[in-house]
Structure 1
Amino acid sequence: MVMFFLKELPRWRFHSAIQRSIGAQLQASYCSTRTASSEFLTETLHAITDVKLAQLEKQQESYELGKRALHDALKDERQSRKRVQSLIDDAEKLPAMTPLGRDPSISIENLRRFVEQAEFDPSVTSGFLTEYESIIHKKLDEQSARYEFAALYGRLVKEWTSSSGNGRQDVETAVGREEMHKQRAMWKEYVFHPKNLDAYAIKSYLDQLFTKNDSNTVKDAFKILKQDVENFQKSWDDEVHFDVTTVTQCIKDILKNGALSDHKGAALNGFLGNDMVLNEIADVLNMRMASRASFEWSGVTTIEQRRHLNGRYRFFASDEDVLQTIFMHYIGLKWATKIKEVLRRFISQTDVLKSTERTLTWDERRRRRYLLIGDNIRYSSKSVESQENEYWNSKIFLDQLPNEIALSVTQGLLNRIRANVMMRRRLDKDTTVIRSDFKWFGPSLPHQSIFVVLEHFGLKREWLDFFKKALEAPLVFKDEAGSAPQIRRRGTPISTTLETFFSETLLFCSDFAVNQKANGSRLYRLHDDIWLWGDSEACVQSWNALTEFSDVMGIQINEDKTGSCTVLAKGSKEITTSSAGLPQGDVSWGFLKLDPETGRFLINQAEIDKHISELSLQLKACGSVFDFIQAWNLYGGRFFQAHCGAVAWCTGRQHVDEILETFQRIQSALFPSTAGSVGLYLKQMIEDRLGQVPSIPDGFLYYPSTMGGLGLLNPLVNLYIIREDSTKDPEVFMDEFFEAERKNYEKAKERYEAREFGKKGRPIAEELGGDWGYFQGKPFMSFEEYIQDPDLTSDTKGECYRRLLTTPQPRGVEISGQDKLKEFEKISPDDRDWTDYETWVVELYAKEIIDRFGTLVIVEKGLLPTSLVTVLRKNRFKWQN
């Protein structure tokens, strides 16, 4: 009925209230369907798991009874040949996980024929028969071990699924609750209270930056930008915006962001793949788009406060009308994509952005052209400057539009700082580094600033009014049911395309202001995370430009995350952390802090200590072994390693070893009772929780779940995989640079002198053409002048820079040894497509696993409830507080 109604009535006659009614019907219908479907899937997996484990238990019981009966039947048989023959015949009939007759590691048929041979042939001695008997008994014991650990795995899954709530014990601390309420109060103070600014001052600032810029090129390029924005608005209604493809893509994007509640996420997920439903949604949304001039916010948005591992809480709109969510996502995406396009076009215009390096003067270029006989006088496509331009344009500039920032971009940025500092030190240049961000940027961003910037960039009143309604949504906290909703007066909705569009458009003004007011400096900005480096004077100018921008726009510099550091040239004895005009504080990110003496990012052990305490809290809150493993893998492994920075050749092997030492210290602090071994600690935990268990081999803990292991992460392994290819001393690349440049210099000097004074070949002036009288007969330049601007002119330095930024290649291990290789070949190709980490772990523990279970695979594929474990790992785990 709903679908017929949608198709028959003309789109333009729909009232917005009717649209909301239809949307609500669709949402309620499919939300309940999807929720039921999701619950049915989980219940089905639970039921299948119960059947699997019950069947496995029966099979184990049957096997052990048969095995015991076999031993009892043979204990009185004195003739070894008959005993072995009966053992072979009856063992083959046992309901083993891998029946003896199908075990590829031995040939039962061969043993049987050898035993028959022993009846008349004395060459098959009793020693042979004893060995055959021992082989059969070992194989039977290996099958028992496999059943034991299949049962143990099953008990651990049952412990996980039967633990109350989400498997977390209540160890909530007063400190945690206090911090939660403190941050919520701060968020409310920003979001529900407008900041009144001088709109004229903002407009005047933007005029000076763009429309009244001293550069005619900038003014002309900005006119083109505004025209592009105007044309975009004029053509908006010329297309049908929603169809099955666009709705599907929007839903996938929204689900990826993870902001919605599980209930609303399940509703959206339920729409995917159903073209009939997606078409109806597209019709509704196209009608909403046509009547957007009368748009009003639908319902009250529920805010959910979630704690991240860094201790900060973020505030998500978790329970919003799903059709409205799709609608807003699409509009934000369209605008974000367009603004990225026009801003990229703007800065790509010649001379809009100022140069970041000193440009060679006309006389300098002519002198170099004459002395170098035309070579090496302009920018090199392989120079440091060219690489930095490419990196800034492709990785840094407007990185949030429309894609979400990746952690690896920040880590790569730190390595670029390290490489630049190293090269500048060796070239006798000091390097100043500034790091900062804006305090509570998302929640504190004044709406007045957003709208003045958007209007300046050419957005018409229609869109400004629409975005005002979108921003001023009524909000209420999830756990404050009954409270009156309050209107958002500041800030943007987190993890949405609208947030990205608003914030990146505004923050682009900071990028451009730094470039224009600090003689071409680059602002390395990842959303509101800010980095600057270079000469001290340029950094002071950049910092002044940033503080002016923040004052005008009504946002605050975050002093807790702001600092500067000046790394002096190599050989300087003076050490300084900041100078006049630069912000105070350390330069740090994650667990790293820039050391002014060495120019290296060192691990800040004080920050590590804070997270050791937090991880200890999280591990103690685990109500099951599987929860413990997941908490350790996510926090004790991936989080710690990611925030110790990515390894490159510029960081050297020393940094790898620092991370290894840090992980050793983390485990020693967390697990003092087991000498810092998380594996031994986990074994003890399993025994304490489950009572009597078999002796647990290490491989059972660390092996991948596809091979019957628990998948406990060893974070040190990934470091050892890249350690061998890490450079022992990165300074060697600069040594090679100087050596290569010296050789290039000598060749250039020899060539010049041979042509100018030795009269070999055509005269230089004649070859180049023009008037070169002033330069003729002059001595060749000094080596210092030759390498005066290597960032601009030197391919050699560009190659050095590229090598310093190179990521070490993984050098893992291979499965070795005849027995291990045989077992490896038995595994299907799909199941042995392991990562370097998995191969290392398998090889490390292979011997004890094969000795214990007779094979590399602890439990046969399909016997364990791996599907349920996978689902629960994705949906079940939640951090304490």
Structure 2
Amino acid sequence: MASSVITETLRSVTSTKIRELKKQREQYEISKGKILRDAKAAASDLKCTNLLLREVCREAGIRFVDEGLLGPDTQASATATCKRRDQQLFLCQAEKDPALAPSLIQDIEQEVLEHFELKSVRHEHAELFSELATEWLSCSEESKSSPVTTGTMDDSSFETIGRKEMHEQRAQWESVVFSKSNVDVSHIKNYLQKLFNSNKVVSNAFRTVQNATRSEALSMWRDTVLFDVDNLKTTIQSLLKSDLLSEEKAAIVKSFKSNDEVLQEVADVLTMRMASLETWQWSTVNGAITVSQRRQLNGKYRVFMDEDILDALLLHAIGMKWAVHFRHQFLTFFHSPAWMTPGTRVPKHDQDRRTYYLGQDSVSHGTAETIRRSQYERDYFMTQLPDSEPDGVRGYGDEDDQATSPSRKSPLETKQSLLHLLITEALTARHLRPTVPHAVIRSDFHWFGPSLPHEIISAVLEFLGMPEEWLHFFRKFLQAPMRFGQDGPDGQSQVRQTGVPMSHALSDVFGEVILFIMDFAVNRATAGSYLYRLHDDFWFWGTQDLCERGWEAMTEFASTMGIRFNKEKTGSVVFAERNMALHIDVSNSSDLDSDGHQPITKVAQLPEGEVRWGFLRLHPAATRFVIDQTMVDEHIAELRLQLSHCTSIFSYVQAYNAYLARFFSNNFGMPSYAFGPQHIDNMIDTFAKIQRAIFPSGNVTEYLAQLARDRFGVEDIPDGVWYWPVRMGGLELCNPMAPLFCMRETLRQTPEQILTEQLEEEESAYESAKVRFGRSNSKELRDARLTAGLSTAAVGEDFMSKEEFMRYREERSVYLGNAYQVLLSIPQEYEISETSNITSWLNALPVSSRNSKPSAGIVRSFGSMQPYWKWVLAVYGAQIVKKYGSLQMVDATQVPLGVVSVMQSGRVRWQG
């Protein structure tokens, strides 16, 4: 109901503004017509121009010279006031001064007439913008009342009952979730005992986690002030960051935040429920909770529960408490001696020799190894769990996931960084050890959330110190009675027997607690190597032998826990031995087979399959990812289908942006120095291919202009209108190729060149150190030897060899560390320069547009604008100013900008 009330309010606001706008436009046109007729009847050109200028000044609130000098101008900007004052002065002078050319009067007249016409054009555009907003609002409401769209001639298989794959995935989901798992709990307990009691160091560190969990469980169970108004506001804000609630229930929960009395009532109820947690049960309708399927852009369907709001708030608050607890406990364990660290430890004798020859060579920051460990802890270790309760749950890296905390990367950003890291590590390994095979493993678990056995969850939590009263509550949470909404209120309901519900904080806790076991198992099996994991999506790399040991540990874990790997996403690559300096051209390499793969002998101990992510396939010959064009072709057909079901122009732009500018861009992989310039070139070529496929006889702006022409009768819309910021009267269509071209301008070096350049700098540093050592006198050398704690026999008169100097580069070299950091980074976008025209356009903007936020689009401060908006301004600014007289195409008070903003904030719900 709240959602429909909001929609009706938006519709009312829009209708009112449109009526007022039409009235103002009619009044203006009548007034303009009278002014032009009076001016035409004037006795002379000078009188005509004077009359026109007087009306313009009156409209702008600028006093005319013959009206006296008392009182300030009322509304006009300083720039407009100066301009009109100057024109008044020139006309006064022209009355007396015969030397003033008549062309000056004609120029002023022409400029004022143009002002009248431009205002008419802006009125017309404001009306179009309002009609577009109304169309979007109306179509959105229709789609909610009739959520399934019938097929078109181009898509005869799009039926009212939904897609075939939706029903197939539901059947598969039901077969898993409503069937009890068959697992050996005693085997799991033995596995855990063996892993966490392997030695005294590990058992002591783990006992700290167990004791802290028992203490937290007791404290939270007795907590009578878990909910007050302030805590509840935090819980609501955190819950809204998830995708759990339906739009209607999310609107209701949002409304709670503005009323402290309502919040207090809700807090009281939740406190009572918390006090009787041992008897808690799910709130149901007709004995079950409604569940529904939501389609993701990748074609997969997820099942969401439409649970009671009070249940959602209670469970989320409890889940966030446990999430924060376990994140902090696992981080403590990570920093303990129980967690092995990777890398080669520099022997004391070697370190002492380096101190003697190089001075205090105690580099501890800026090396590849220190960067690696810091990034792993910050971005990949238990990052599904929040640092604090306000952070909220994290998404899974989908195209429309939002960042959950300003201090942490979003899941999608973290995934993109992982791809950069994978290639950087491969490049670095082949640079340092060209004759040692380097391998990569990628996998995830098949239907991890829905297939997680409840017995496993209980066993692991119990091992971690969770008492029985909490385990009992968790079992009731997991065993929810459910019914699909599409089956109707009398449809069959069933109780969940396996798996965890979607988008719940407690579900994240259970999943991460279990996967932490795998993290540690791999750490022990590989003597400290990192398993890079984003929830159940995990990657591992290193020497071939290391990867075999890591994969063996992962396989044992999966078998013990009763879960299995997803074959579609499981694979490995072993890079061939080669000289790192060799540049391989993927398109011309004779080493590739007909599918663009390098023939590689698969090792039996590593998983079969390719290493993929999104639309990318890891190319073993070129040490980079390539775009799978077959997958692109499949999604071009899907994009065409989704766009064909957009019934308003605004929704078309929103879907286009979400699919092309976000979904495709994200799944092509964010450019980086590790990916090199060739990856950007491939992205550009692929986007061009998509555009040609969707618009074979034109482009997106031509198509949108044709829609506007057919529906609203508006002609000659400049291309820039579609790309212009909404708050200025545009539709904010995204051009995904613009940032790529700007990045390509700054990305000149290949990854190999970056590594080679740093190697040359390090070799130069060796020669410099050798010269410094040679200049040292005997006393300085003796002092250096004593400082290093070395005997005379341990050092020689000659400087250390280059081979010894270059040893331990990952652990000691800041030069390699610099190259490593550069390869991980994203190229800066080339920024368009500010021209005199751009400066004048921006200075003419209303003062209210003065906004220094980089995300605000086009603003008066050119330097604070994002590179993309600088590009839009440079490309389309001239045509916008020519057509509308200003960068601001509409008066913000006349059009429903707020309505459009509300509509834009909603997630795109895809057909099917």
Given the two structures, how large is their TM-score scaled by the length of structure 1? 0.88
2:803 partner letter: E
Residue 325 of structure 2: which of 312, 323, 338 is its match? 338
Most deviating of 681-690 and 234-243: 234-243
| Mapped pair 1:306 → 2:289 | no
- 1:381 — aligned with what? 365
- 1:316 — aligned with what? 304
Contact 1:166/1:876, CA 8 A, preserved across alignment? no
1:301-345 Cα distance to aligned partner (Å, 9 max, x none) = 211210011111111112x12222211112211222212222222
1:62 partner letter: Q
| Mapped pair 1:297 → 2:282 | yes
- 1:548–1:819: structure 2 CA closer, same or farther, 3 Å change rule? closer
Matches within 5 A, 1:557-706: 557-571=565-579, 576=600, 578-674=602-698, 677-690=699-712, 692-706=713-727
- 1:234–1:120: structure 2 CA closer, same or farther, 3 Å change rule? closer
| Mapped pair 1:783 → 2:769 | no
Most deviating of 725-734 and 323-332: 725-734
Q: Partners in 2 of 1:388 and 1:114 — Cα distance? A: 70
Q: Partners in 2 of 1:156 and 1:236 — Cα distance? A: 52
Residue 135 of structure 1: which of 111, 115, 136 is its match? 111
Q: Partners in 2 of 1:837 and 1:766 — Cα distance? A: 59
Contact 2:213/2:465, CA 8 A, preserved across alignment? yes
- 1:868 — aligned with what? 899
Q: Partners in 2 of 1:747 and 1:129 — Cα distance? A: 75
- 1:404 — aligned with what? 394
- 1:485–1:604: structure 2 CA closer, same or farther, 3 Å change rule? same
Instruction: Give the superposition deviation at 1:107.
Output: 4.1
Instruction: Give the superposition deviation at 1:72.
Output: 4.5
- 1:13 — aligned with what? none
Contact 2:841/2:887, CA 8 A, preserved across alignment? no
Instruction: Give the superposition deviation at 1:166.
Output: 2.7
| Mapped pair 1:288 → 2:273 | yes
- 1:503 — aligned with what? 511
Instruction: Give the superposition deviation at 1:295.
Output: 2.6
Q: Partners in 1 of 2:552 and 2:517 — Cα distance? A: 14
Contact 1:356/1:521, CA 8 A, preserved across alignment? yes
| Mapped pair 1:327 → 2:314 | yes
Instruction: Give the superposition deviation at 1:97.
Output: 15
Instruction: Give the superposition deviation at 1:157.
Output: 2.2
Matches within 5 A, 1:543-558: 543-558=551-566
Q: Partners in 2 of 1:653 and 1:702 — Cα distance? A: 27
Q: Partners in 2 of 1:804 and 1:179 — Cα distance? A: 40
Instruction: Give the superposition deviation at 1:394.
Output: 1.6
| Mapped pair 1:67 → 2:32 | yes
1:741-786 Cα distance to aligned partner (Å, 9 max, x none) = 2233334555667779x7863176545446564x344966543343
- 1:85–1:579: structure 2 CA closer, same or farther, 3 Å change rule? same
- 1:873–1:822: structure 2 CA closer, same or farther, 3 Å change rule? closer
- 2:828 — aligned with what? 809
Q: Partners in 1 of 2:874 and 2:649 — Cα distance? A: 25
| Mapped pair 1:166 → 2:143 | yes
Contact 2:718/2:879, CA 8 A, preserved across alignment? yes
Contact 2:738/2:871, CA 8 A, preserved across alignment? yes
| Mapped pair 1:266 → 2:251 | yes
1:203 partner letter: K
Instruction: Give the superposition deviation at 1:879.
Output: 1.7
Residue 734 of structure 2: which of 695, 709, 713 is its match? 713
Instruction: Give the superposition deviation at 1:843.
Output: 2.9
Task: Tell me how many residue pairs correspond in the alignment.
Answer: 835
- 1:440–1:778: structure 2 CA closer, same or farther, 3 Å change rule? farther
Contact 1:242/1:282, CA 8 A, preserved across alignment? yes
Q: Partners in 2 of 1:751 and 1:839 — Cα distance? A: 50
Q: Partners in 2 of 1:819 and 1:294 — Cα distance? A: 67
- 1:372–1:144: structure 2 CA closer, same or farther, 3 Å change rule? same
- 1:202 — aligned with what? 188
- 1:30 — aligned with what? none
Q: Partners in 2 of 1:90 and 1:792 — Cα distance? A: 76
- 2:10 — aligned with what? 45
2:316 partner letter: H
1:698 partner letter: D
Q: Partners in 1 of 2:13 and 2:454 — Cα distance? A: 53
1:761 partner letter: L
Q: Partners in 1 of 2:528 and 2:842 — Cα distance? A: 62
Q: Partners in 1 of 2:321 and 2:136 — Cα distance? A: 44
| Mapped pair 1:467 → 2:450 | no
Q: Partners in 2 of 1:766 and 1:869 — Cα distance? A: 74
Contact 1:814/1:840, CA 8 A, preserved across alignment? no
Q: Partners in 1 of 2:891 and 2:104 — Cα distance? A: 31
- 1:430–1:43: structure 2 CA closer, same or farther, 3 Å change rule? same
- 1:196–1:379: structure 2 CA closer, same or farther, 3 Å change rule? farther
Instruction: Give the superposition deviation at 1:533.
Output: 1.1
- 1:95–1:511: structure 2 CA closer, same or farther, 3 Å change rule? same
2:328 partner letter: E
Matches within 5 A, 1:826-841: 826-828=845-847, 829-830=850-851, 832=860, 834-841=865-872
1:465-514 Cα distance to aligned partner (Å, 9 max, x none) = 11111100101111112112111111101111110110000000110111
Q: Partners in 2 of 1:131 and 1:285 — Cα distance? A: 73
Q: Partners in 1 of 2:448 and 2:85 — Cα distance? A: 75
Structure 2 residue runs of 5 or longer lacking an equivalent are 65-72, 387-392, 396-410, 583-590, 592-597, 852-858
Q: Partners in 1 of 2:511 and 2:238 — Cα distance? A: 19
1:281-303 Cα distance to aligned partner (Å, 9 max, x none) = 22332232222223333322211
Instruction: Give the superposition deviation at 1:804.
Output: 2.1
RMSD in angstroms over aligned alpha carbons? 3.0
Q: Partners in 2 of 1:48 and 1:454 — Cα distance? A: 53
Matches within 5 A, 1:82-97: 82-89=47-54
- 2:588 — aligned with what? none
| Mapped pair 1:490 → 2:478 | no
1:816 partner letter: T
Contact 1:166/1:877, CA 8 A, preserved across alignment? no
- Percent identity, please: 36
Given the two structures, how large is their TM-score scaled by the length of structure 2? 0.85
Contact 1:725/1:810, CA 8 A, preserved across alignment? yes
2:483 partner letter: V
Q: Partners in 2 of 1:95 and 1:778 — Cα distance? A: 87
Residue 230 of structure 1: which of 211, 214, 219 is its match? 214
- 1:73–1:410: structure 2 CA closer, same or farther, 3 Å change rule? same
2:622 aligned counterpart, secondary structure = coil
1:430-488 Cα distance to aligned partner (Å, 9 max, x none) = 32111111111110111111111111112122221111111001011111121121111
1:834-875 Cα distance to aligned partner (Å, 9 max, x none) = 433233312321211222222221112211111111122234
- 1:225–1:878: structure 2 CA closer, same or farther, 3 Å change rule? closer
2:483 aligned counterpart, secondary structure = strand
- 1:80 — aligned with what? 45
Q: Partners in 2 of 1:41 and 1:177 — Cα distance? A: 31
Contact 1:371/1:752, CA 8 A, preserved across alignment? no
Contact 1:471/1:488, CA 8 A, preserved across alignment? yes
Q: Partners in 2 of 1:709 and 1:814 — Cα distance? A: 23
1:412 partner letter: S
Contact 1:98/1:143, CA 8 A, preserved across alignment? no
Q: Partners in 2 of 1:858 and 1:764 — Cα distance? A: 73
- 1:295–1:72: structure 2 CA closer, same or farther, 3 Å change rule? closer
Instruction: Give the superposition deviation at 1:347.
Output: 2.3
1:41-76 Cα distance to aligned partner (Å, 9 max, x none) = 443332222122112112222222333344455556
- 2:750 — aligned with what? 729
Structure 1 residue runs of 5 or longer lacking an equivalent are 1-34
Q: Partners in 1 of 2:96 and 2:317 — Cα distance? A: 86
Q: Partners in 2 of 1:505 and 1:374 — Cα distance? A: 46
Instruction: Give the superposition deviation at 1:822.
Output: 5.1
